[in-house]
Structure 1
Amino acid sequence: MALLRVEEVFKTSGIPTHTFVRPSEYSRLRVALRTPGRGVIVEGPSGIGKSTAITRALEEEGLDKEVTRLTAREPVDVEYLDALPELGAFGTVVIDDFHRLEESVKRRIADLLKVTADAEDESRKLVIIGINEAGKSLIDSSPDLTNRLEVLRFEAEPDLKIDELVTAGERAFNVSLAARALIVQNARGSFYIAQLLCMDACLQADLTERPEESVEVATTYAAIQRKVVERQRDRFGDSVRSFARGTRFRPGGRAPYLHILRWLSEADSWSISIRDEIRRHPTEKASVFLVLDRGYLASLVAQPAISKLLHFDEKTSVLSVEDPMLTFYLRAVSWPDFVREVGFKRVDYEESYDIALSFAGEDRAYASALRDALEDLGHAVFYDSAEQARFLGQDVETYLGPIYESGSRYVVAVLGEMYGRKRWTLFEASKYKDRIEAGQVIPVWSIKIPPEPFDATRSLFGLDWDPDAAVQDQASAHASVISEKLGLAE
């Protein structure tokens, strides 16, 4: 009789046998699968057991005879999906990675779901697997699907379920794991991670086959984590560093992508809403909102190496992990070491903005161009019209005062002909005047303004701009100088 191997017990690929544990939503899944015509969406992070649960439930219900499995990652499968509405009685079709389908294909699937549900069609069944918010994105595109679908969300499983898996594995492999409590805790609700940690504990104890007599596996959790993280560094290191640096890496930048990674590592689940996180982290809101609003985050996640690890839904602003081991890796790394490895000089700022722009409305064209140029260089800029939604209904002076007093690293004052004649420029100047001696105000003088003997800004080294010349080139040149100044001030 062949000995039972460790990889047959603690399975990290394929369908578990000895360690299968019914997820919390398993009963609802079985009922949904056997309801004629009703579409089923199973959403949740990778590694939570979605595909395994569907396979086992179909087997238990005797529905596994005519099952076609397709994935959005395979072009030939996508072609099949696009033609699905014309294929008649196709049996049960399980669609994996649904979130990666083009919107046009999703709409065709949505229409087919409505038809099969209304007809209670026993010859056609669609089972959709996707990461978080897969059901929401489908319902948003076709609201009348709401009552025609069963949306099952597989969250992180409770520790009780993970403990059940570990216990089953210990029994099957005839071992007792000294690190079992920490394995259960650090699996953070993932069956996959629990399997991997248990296997590594056995491998470090040189147990590759089931012992005849029960063995106490003394491998410590620290040793397990260290070995697993070392392996994941080879898998994820380059891609994670590329993500943290973004598309325009600057050592003195505000590191918005690194903050996003940190938020992801601290989340209770395998996905985060970027907009929700921005509200929770006001100091980083400007820089992260910039990469979100301008589509930089979406473009970065779309890069091939990163798209294998992360998925970003622009409609919901939800960033999700494709590979559960990425989250484990991020939670285990030393963040101070990682910051140094990536190359940032500083990532924690007391100020919400790098630059607060102060200008009269007549000079908005130049100020707007300067703002764009600074943001393109990765800086967080306070620009009044971009913040209107935030201070609607608030006392404007109460909102603006702190930004010019201390809420930005520097104030850039665009000193045009009307600057000292406008109410808001006078107010802003009153708030930043004490920062002039500290070197935290950068003046940009219009060449049309003659020097005045009592103008305090004339004692500062500043920049000149010509209101009658094209603003774009001037703004770009000035932004480069200001950006260099920000870097030197780190």
Structure 2
Amino acid sequence: MKYPLEEIFRTEGVPEFTFVKPPNYNEIFLDIRSSGKPTIIEGQSGTGKTTVAKKVIEQAFPQGDFGYLSARSTGDIEKVLEISQGTLLGRWIIDDFHRLDSDVQARIADLVKLAAEDFDPSAHPKLVLIGINKVGSELINLVHDIAKRCGIHRIQPADKEIAAEIIRRGEDKLNIYLDNKDAIFAETGGDYWLTQLTCQAICLGDGVMETQVDRKRVPYRQAEVRGRIIGRLDNTYREPVKEFSRGKRFRPTNDPYFRLLRLIAAQASSIADLNELANANPEVRGSINNIKDRRISVVLESKPICDRYFYYNPETKTFAIEDPAFFYYLQHIDWEDVRRDCGFRDDPHHYDWDFAISFAGENRVLAELIADLLEVLDCTVFYDRFYEANYLGKAWSDQFREIFGHRARYVVCLLDAHHEKKIWPTFEREIFSQRVEDGAVIPVFLDETRFAGVPRDIVGVDFRGRDPHDTDLVTDEIVLKLEEKLKDS
């Protein structure tokens, strides 16, 4: 019997002929089959979480009375909400659980607890929740005694033996022999989906489109196969890479998103804790810290193409690339070519912040409003409260000396009598006044106070007598002017 290549090494849907059970398949099977036991399946992208769940359901519930819902599908969200509100019973997979709003997750977590405690399974829906790493632990944080009441399983990448079995089953159906299986495993790292894709690409490169009449030896030429795969993926993934790398508002010297993406592509996992990533990589720590609290979320919210391919939880600082094909693409593209394609240009002086705001405590309302509005425009801003957690245990004096002295491209100083008298603003002023001649200091005059080292004829923003609570006024008179200045730098 002849089989088409795409049905043997499948890159879409559930493999029929080359599915191999992971070591903990039977444990997952029992928990899913158990009518009163909620089940959580977690793991990084490409590990076959959804495939395993569907295979179990196919075997345990052949009548098909088990629904599939995904948090990525707008058409499924209504049913997910009904489940969370307790108005929809039945058996359900909820895939991409981590993408649901936190309040919906919390309601489902409470539902999971009730279902596990109740002796009448028919009173609650049977749920299988699928998501990226830490879904189980995050649910436990929502409902602390949930762990002993539900099955939590992690799908690990295939080991060499399982990967070899996937390949062997494909070889049997296609009547071929793939050379250098160790090199295939080294390339795919045990990723189930990537193993399927690589084997398919190897066959395509040697003209194997279906089952061969005579057994055929098929060589594996790594560079050729990798190049073919990346070329195939480029049309799909180049645009989201560029859109994310360029941020919400593109500036040729503003590349923290590009730096983050390149760093994640260099690691083994497609999931990263940005706090850990920043601490482990001092050379990009400033870039990551500047965008991890709020700005990444702003980019994803403003660019649907980015939200489709990237996941970010600003509370846990978990960043993920959920599509295994996309992660493979990122691991092997030419990043310097991407940088040129994005339009970034080299800056002889790398700044961690576009702006640092110097102010007295009496003007904190205005300072915070400026900082918030600049971040909406995707500018990096040093405003002390944004970074208190990053500098715990460190002396502010040392940090301010660096930030106002050379790590911020521009210093925005809110000048008035309070700034003149207060200790910290005076300390900051002594530092940044040395940068006045370089045009790096932008004063916002709030009264008539004069300052040594800051000439009165320096071009700044006259905000005397204006309302610091007026968002429109602050936007027009200060923030948009600062952004325009940044564009010209």
Interval of TM-score (by shorter of Structure 1 and Structure 2): 0.7 to 0.9
Change over 3 Å in CA distance of 1:120–1:54 after alignment to 2: farther
- Is contact 1:40–1:151 with CA below 8 Å preserved after alignment? yes
Which position in structure 2 is the counterpart of 1:214? 215
Deviations 1:405-460 (A, max 9, x none): 3332333344433444332233223434544455544445556145x8xx443298
Displacement of 1:113 in angstroms is 3.0
Contact 2:249 2:377 in 1 (8 A): yes
- What one-letter code is carried by the residue in structure 2 that aligns with 1:95? I
1:114 is aligned to 113
Q: Deviations over 1:443-488 (max 9, x none)?
A: 45556145x8xx4432984314243234563674444444444444
- Residue 416 of structure 1 is matched in structure 2 by 416
SS of 1:144's partner is coil
1:458 to 433, 455, 460: 455
Q: Name 2:48's counterpart in structure 1.
A: 49
Mapped to 1, the partners of 2:64 and 2:267 lie a distance apart of 39
**Equivalent residue number for residue 309 of structure 2:** 309
Q: Does 1:165 align with 2:166?
A: yes
Partner of 2:95: 96
Cα 1:459–1:47, aligned 2, differ >3 Å: closer, same or farther?
same
Residue 9 in 1 paired to residue 8 in 2?
A: yes
Cα offset, 1:230, TM superposition: 1.9
Secondary structure of 1:406's counterpart equals helix
Code of the residue aligned with 2:460 in structure 1: it is L
- Which residue number corresponds to residue 468 of structure 1? 465
1:286 CA displacement: 5.7
Query: Which deviates more from structure 2 when the two are superposed, residues 201-210 or residues 462-471?
Result: 462-471
Q: Identity, % of aligned pairs?
A: 29
**How far apart are 1:196 and its partner, in Å?**
0.9
> Which AA in structure 1 matches 2:48?
G
Tell me, yes or no, if the aligned pair for 1:156 and 1:190 is still in contact at 8 Å.
Answer: yes
Unaligned runs of 5+ in 1: none
282 and 417 in structure 1: CA distance in 2 versus 1, 3 angstrom threshold = farther
SS in 2 for 1:277: helix
Shift in Å, 1:205: 1.2
- RMSD of aligned alpha carbons: 3.6
Identify if the C-alpha distance between structure 1 residues 442 and 309 changes in structure 2 by more than 3 Å, giving closer, same or farther. closer
User: Which residue of the partner structure matches residue 386 of structure 1?
Assistant: 386
Partner of 1:228: 229
Moved more, 279-288 or 152-161: 279-288
Q: Which residue of 2 aligns with 1:68?
A: 66
Other-structure match for 1:37: 36
Supply the distance in 2 between the matched residues of 1:167 and 1:113 (Cα, whole angstroms): 40
CA deviation digits over 1:111-159, x for unaligned, max 9? Answer: 4433442345576743222233333443333333221111112243345
Q: Secondary structure, in 3 states, of the residue corresponding to 2:146?
A: helix
Instruction: Please give the secondary structure, in 2, of the residue aligned with 1:409.
Output: strand
**Residues 200 and 461 (structure 1), Cα distance of their counterparts in 2 relative to 1, 3 Å cut:** same
Residues 168 and 386 of structure 1: is their aligned pair in 2 closer, same or farther, counting only changes over 3 Å?
same
Q: Deviations over 1:331-364 (max 9, x none)?
A: 1211111122122224896432222233333444
The Cα shift of 1:41 comes to: 0.8
Distance 2:127 2:422 in 1: 64
Per-residue Cα deviation, 1:50-88 (whole angstroms, up to 9, x for no partner): 23223444566x554464132132636843872695677
Give the distance between the partners of 1:384 and 1:45, measured in 2 at CA: 35
d(CA) in 2 for partners of 1:348, 1:217: 50
Q: Distance in 1 between matches of 2:376 and 2:81?
A: 40
Question: What is residue 320 of structure 2 aligned with on the other side?
Answer: 320
TM-score by length of 2: 0.83
Counterparts of 1:228 and 1:321, CA distance in 2: 18
Aligned to 2:236, what secondary structure does the other structure show?
helix
The alpha-carbon distance between structure 1 residues 286 and 316, as it changes in their structure 2 partners (threshold 3 A), is: same
Aligned residue number for residue 192 of structure 1:
193
Judge conservation of contact 1:174–1:213 (CA < 8 Å) in 2. Answer: yes
Contact 2:412 2:443 in 1 (8 A): yes
TM-score (norm 1): 0.83
For residue 387 of structure 2, what is the amino acid of its counterpart?
E
Quick check: 1:337 aligned with 2:334?
no
Aligned 8 A contact 1:373 1:479 in 2:
yes
Q: Are 1:95 and 1:127, in contact at CA under 8 Å, matched by a contact in 2?
A: yes
Given that 2:298 and 2:376 are in contact with CA atoms closer than 8 Å, whether structure 1 keeps it comes out as: no
State the Cα distance separating 1:191 from its structure 2 match. 0.7
Deviation, structure 1 residue 329: 1.2
Relative to structure 1, the CA distance from residue 429 to residue 247 in structure 2 (aligned partners, 3 Å threshold; closer, same or farther) is closer
Which residue identity lines up with residue 469 of structure 1 in the other structure? R
Q: Which runs of 5+ in 2 are unaligned?
A: none
Which amino acid counterpart does residue 67 of structure 2 have in structure 1? R
Given that residues 183 and 194 in structure 1 are in contact (C-alpha distance below 8 angstroms), is that contact kept between their aligned partners in structure 2? yes
Of 284-293 and 355-364, deviating more is 284-293
Asked if residue 26 in structure 1 is aligned to residue 17 in structure 2, the reply is no
Corresponding residue pairs, total: 481
